[in-house]
A and B are shown apart, each in its own frame.
Chain A
Amino acid sequence: MAGPRKVNVIVAIGIEIRRWSYTSELIDFLNTNATVIRDKINQWTYSVPRKNLYYIVSIVYSFDEFRTALDTENAYVIYDGHSRWGQGPAFGDTSLHCPSPVLYPTNPWQDTFKMGWDTIRVPCIEEIFDHCTDPEEYPHTRIPARLFAKKNVKRMLNKSKGRSQRCNQRGYAKRLLRNCYPQFAQKLNGRGVKPLLNRHYWIKKRNEEDFYTLIQVGQRDLDSVSLKCRVLFMNSCSSKGHFYYALKRQKRRKKSKCNFYMTRYSCGAATTLIFIKLLFKGYRPTGRNGSRRFLRAMGVRNSGVVQYLK
C-alpha cells in the first residue's frame, strides 16, 4: 500500500511582518496543532489520515529560501509580506524602515525578489527616502514598443513624451527633482545617502510634498526559477496587479503547473493562518472546486479580495 502523499507547505514571511502578532499566532498554531520536527527550526509535520496526506510545514524568512520554495516540486508556497509597491518580496529581521548600514550593509527593503513589471512608479519620499533605498531609475530615453508595464506607467510615459522640463509644467513631464525642489533632492537619508539628488520625477502628488518617479524592476529573479511549486499564494497587497502578469508569463515559458492565489486590493488580515487551517482539514487548494472554500473563507476578512488564477 502506498504511504501518505507528502506535501511541502512553505510560508515565506517578509520583512517587518515577521515581527507582527499574526506571525507569532501562526507559529503558536503550528506548535499547538502540528508536530515539531526535532532538531529543525521552524518545521512541523501534520497528517490528515482521512485524505492520506502528510504535510511538512516550514516557515522561512530569506530571499534564497523563497527562491528555493518556488522550485520545490508540488509545494504549496505562501509569501506573506509586503509587495514593496511592486518591487517584489523583501526579507529581513527588522521592522525599522531605515535600517542602519552597519547592521545591514545591504538594505533589505531594497533587496527585493524581482518578479514584476519592467518599470513601476513609486513616490520619492514615502517610498525611496523613507525606506532609505536608492533604486535604479527607469532611463526613459526611448519607450520600447513592447514595454512590460502597467497602464498608468505607460500613460505617464506617453503623456510626458516631448514635453518641456520646466518646473511649472502642468501634468506629466520628466523633471530633475533638484532643479524644482532642491530642498528634497539635497536631503541625506538615514544611511547617509542622497537618493533623490539625481532623480527625476514625472508628477507631483496633489496636496502632498511627494513626487512620482519611475524605477526599474523586471523579472531577473523570477527568470531564475521554473515554478515547480503547485500553488503560490502571494499574500501581499494588490499582488495580482503587481506580480501576476510576470508570473503568468514565466509559467507559460517553463510549462509550469503552478496555480496562483492573488489579491486585488490591500490586505490586512491573517489569511495565511486561514489557508493553513483549511489545509489541515484536508481541503485541496487546487482546481476550481478545491479553491472555492479557500476563496470563501479568506474572502470575507479584509483579505484584499483573493482570486484563484491559473
Chain B
Amino acid sequence: MDELQLIISNLLQDQNIDDFEDSLLFKEQVMQNPDAIRILLQLLRKSTGESHERIALMIASVAPAMLPEVARGFEVGDSNWHHRLMEIIWTIVNLEKSRDWQTIFDTIKSPLSKLFTDTRSIEPEYENPIEIEHTLRVCDDAYLLCKGLLEPEFIPSDFLDLEFQERDFDIRTFRSQIDGDLLV
C-alpha cells in the first residue's frame, strides 16, 4: 500500500503528465486497481485547489470497470462531495468507448439508488455566476445521472424546471422500477 501511495504521489506531482492515460505507470498500477481508487478518494476529500483538480483528473482517468469502487465514495461526505463524485463519474462515463451505458448503470445503480431519499441541497462552487440557478439536491443529482445513463436523450433541465414535489414523484416512480430489478 505504501508503495502504491508513493506511485500515486509521484504521478500527481509529475507536471510532464498532462493526461494520465499517457503514463504507462498509471495504466499498469492505478487505472484498474481498486486499492488505488480508495487512496485517491481519500486524497480527494482532503485536498483543495490545484492539487484537488489534479486528483480529480486522475480519478476521471480510471477504467470504467472501476466505477463501482468510485461509487463507494458515496458512503461518506457531504452533499457537495456527492456532487463532485457524480461529476467525476459522468466524466468517466462520457469517455467510455463502447457507449454501453446500460451496463455501467447496472454496476452502480445500487449505491445510486440509496441516494434517492437524500434531500440535502447541493451548492456547486461555480467560478462565475450562472444564468439559471436550479436548486439541486443529492437525490436530483443521483436521478439525473441514472436517467442520463439509461436515456441519453433525456434533458436534465426538463426535470430541474419541476417543483420538488413533481421531482420527488418522478424519482419515486423511477426508484420503484429499478428497486424491482435490484431485488431480483
Give A residues with C-beta under 8 Å from B. Answer: 17, 20-22, 82-85, 121, 150-152, 205-206, 237-238, 240-242, 264-270, 281, 288, 292-293, 295-297, 299-302, 305-308
For the complex, what is the distance from the CA of A83 to the CA of B131, rounded to whole Å? 8
User: Within the complex, what minimum Cβ distance (angstroms) separates B33 from chain A?
Assistant: 19
Pick the contact of B94 from A20, A151, A295 — CB < 8 Å? A295
Q: Could you say which residues of chain A place their CB within 8 Å of the CB of B60?
A: 296, 299-300
Stretch at the interface among B69-77, B104-112, B152-160: B152-160
User: Within the complex, what minimum Cβ distance (angstroms) separates B169 from chain A?
Assistant: 13
User: Within the complex, what minimum Cβ distance (angstroms) separates A307 from chain B?
Assistant: 6
For the complex, what is the distance from the CA of A288 to the CA of B99, rounded to whole Å? 11
For the complex, what is the distance from the CA of A52 to the CA of B131, rounded to whole Å? 40
User: Within the complex, what minimum Cβ distance (angstroms) separates A98 from chain B?
Assistant: 15
Asked if B3 CB lies within 8 Å of chain A CBs, one says no
**Closest chain B residue, CB of each to CB of A86:** B157
Q: Could you say which residues of chain B place their CB within 8 Å of the CB of A270?
A: 127-128
Stretch at the interface among B35-43, B84-92, B173-181: B84-92
* A281–B18 touching, CB < 8 Å: yes
Q: Which 9 interchain pairs have the tightest Cβ spacing?
A: A268-B126, A299-B91, A241-B155, A300-B56, A152-B158, A305-B90, A266-B130, A293-B19, A206-B163
Q: In the complex where A288-B97, A296-B95, A300-B57 touch, is A267 in contact with B130 (Cβ < 8 A)? A: yes
Q: Could you say which residues of chain B place their CB within 8 Å of the CB of A21?
A: 128
* A238–B156 touching, CB < 8 Å: yes
Q: Could you say which residues of chain A place their CB within 8 Å of the CB of B130?
A: 237, 266-268
Q: Could you say which residues of chain B place their CB within 8 Å of the CB of A305?
A: 87, 90-91, 94
Q: Could you say which residues of chain B place their CB within 8 Å of the CB of A306?
A: 94
* B87–A20 touching, CB < 8 Å: no
* B134–A266 touching, CB < 8 Å: yes
Q: Could you say which residues of chain B place their CB within 8 Å of the CB of A292?
A: 19, 21, 95
Pick the contact of A302 from B95, B126, B129, B133 — CB < 8 Å? B126
* B163–A238 touching, CB < 8 Å: no
Asked if B148 CB lies within 8 Å of chain A CBs, one says yes
Chain B, residues 103-126, CB within 8 Å of chain A (1/0): the string is: 000000000000000000000111
Chain B, residues 46-69, CB within 8 Å of chain A (1/0): the string is: 000000010011011100000000
**Closest chain B residue, CB of each to CB of A269:** B127
Give B residues with C-beta under 8 Å from A. Answer: 18-19, 21, 53, 56-57, 59-61, 87-88, 90-91, 94-95, 97, 124-134, 144, 148, 155-158, 161-163, 165
Q: Could you say which residues of chain A place their CB within 8 Å of the CB of B56?
A: 300
For the complex, what is the distance from the CA of A206 to the CA of B126, rounded to whole Å? 26
User: Within the complex, what minimum Cβ distance (angstroms) separates A277 from chain B?
Assistant: 9
Q: Could you say which residues of chain B place their CB within 8 Å of the CB of A241?
A: 155-158
Q: Could you say which residues of chain A place their CB within 8 Å of the CB of B129?
A: 268
For the complex, what is the distance from the CA of A281 to the CA of B15, rounded to whole Å? 14
For the complex, what is the distance from the CA of A301 to the CA of B57, rounded to whole Å? 9
**A–B Cβ pairs within 8 angstroms, 22 of them:** A82-B131, A83-B131, A121-B161, A150-B155, A205-B163, A206-B165, A238-B132, A265-B157, A267-B126, A268-B124, A268-B129, A270-B128, A292-B19, A292-B21, A293-B21, A295-B95, A296-B61, A296-B95, A297-B19, A297-B57, A300-B87, A302-B124
For the complex, what is the distance from the CA of A238 to the CA of B156, rounded to whole Å? 8
User: Within the complex, what minimum Cβ distance (angstroms) separates A157 from chain B?
Assistant: 14
Q: Could you say which residues of chain A place their CB within 8 Å of the CB of B19?
A: 292-293, 296-297
Q: Could you say which residues of chain B place their CB within 8 Å of the CB of A307?
A: 94
Task: Taking A241-B156, A265-B156 as given, write out 14 further A-B residue pairs in contact, using a Cβ cutoff of 8 Å, ordered by the A residue number.
Answer: A22-B127, A151-B155, A237-B131, A241-B158, A242-B157, A269-B128, A292-B19, A293-B18, A295-B94, A296-B19, A296-B91, A297-B57, A300-B87, A302-B127
**Closest chain B residue, CB of each to CB of A212:** B161
User: Within the complex, what minimum Cβ distance (angstroms) separates B26 from chain A?
Assistant: 13
For the complex, what is the distance from the CA of A295 to the CA of B125, rounded to whole Å? 19
Q: In the complex where A237-B132, A300-B60, A302-B87 touch, is A264 in contact with B127 (Cβ < 8 A)? A: no
* A264–B128 touching, CB < 8 Å: no
**Closest chain A residue, CB of each to CB of B134:** A266
